[in-house]
Amino acid sequence: MKRWLVAAVAVVGLTGCASPVAGRAVAGPTTSAAAGNPEVVRWVNNYCAMANYLVASAGVTLDQEASADPATAKKSVSDSLGRVVDVLDVALHDLEGLTPAPTPAADTAVEVVSEPLTRARDKFVSAKATVDGAAEMTPDVFSTVIQDMTEAVTVMQEGVEKIGVVSLPDEYRDAAEHAEECGS
């Protein structure tokens, strides 16, 4: 039992979202004096803000040790999974706010990133529901939770990778130079 508990807590810690995050959600309009289409600059700024939030969220670690008390450990795992779901809810909400984009190509980019993040969120929700619905944390329960979490982390990584490689029109790449959240 203790090995399963340690394994589950370790996997939750590996999700990178087990404690409050220091990122910020989508920012409002940029105040930079940008050249080009201000609507595109605002869109790119918000896209970068969402990406920054996910990156900041992935940098945190589990903030407590595994408890020997099964009820405390169960609550800790459930709370950690809840925080991961909350982070993904914010990112998906921010992505949804990016549509409709100034051009259809940007809408496609949002869809490409949203799809794996939605699948990851659903797997984390499933893992949390399994933990919350279990009377006790048996090896079978932990196995199910770890499987859902492993799949979720893999799919979430796919979504985060797509953020950096998604293809946007030249106008959007040029706008990044003028968007405060894009690090310029």
Q: Is 30 exposed, middle or buried (0-12, 13-18, 19+ CB in 10 A)?
A: buried
Q: Using one digit for the tens of pLDDT, what is the confidence trace for 114-162?
A: 999 999 999 999 999 999 999 888 889 889 999 999 999 899 888 888 8
Confidence of residue 16 (pLDDT cuts 50, 70, 90): very low
In sequence order, what E strands does 55-152 have?
Answer: none
Share of the chain above pLDDT 90, in %: 40
The helix/strand/coil state of 24 is coil
User: Encoding tokens for residue 104?
Assistant: 């259809």
pLDDT for res 137:
83
Q: Which of 74, 78, 76 is nearest to 64 (CA)?
A: 76
| Contacts with 94 (C-beta within 8 Å, 6 or more apart), sequence order | 25, 26, 46, 49, 50, 53
User: Encoding tokens for residue 91?
Assistant: 């990112």
Confidence of residue 66 (pLDDT cuts 50, 70, 90): low
Domains of the chain, by residue range, sit at 2-13+35-182
DSSP 177: G
Confidence of residue 59 (pLDDT cuts 50, 70, 90): low
Confidence of residue 76 (pLDDT cuts 50, 70, 90): confident
Contact of 112 with 161, CB cutoff 8 Å: no
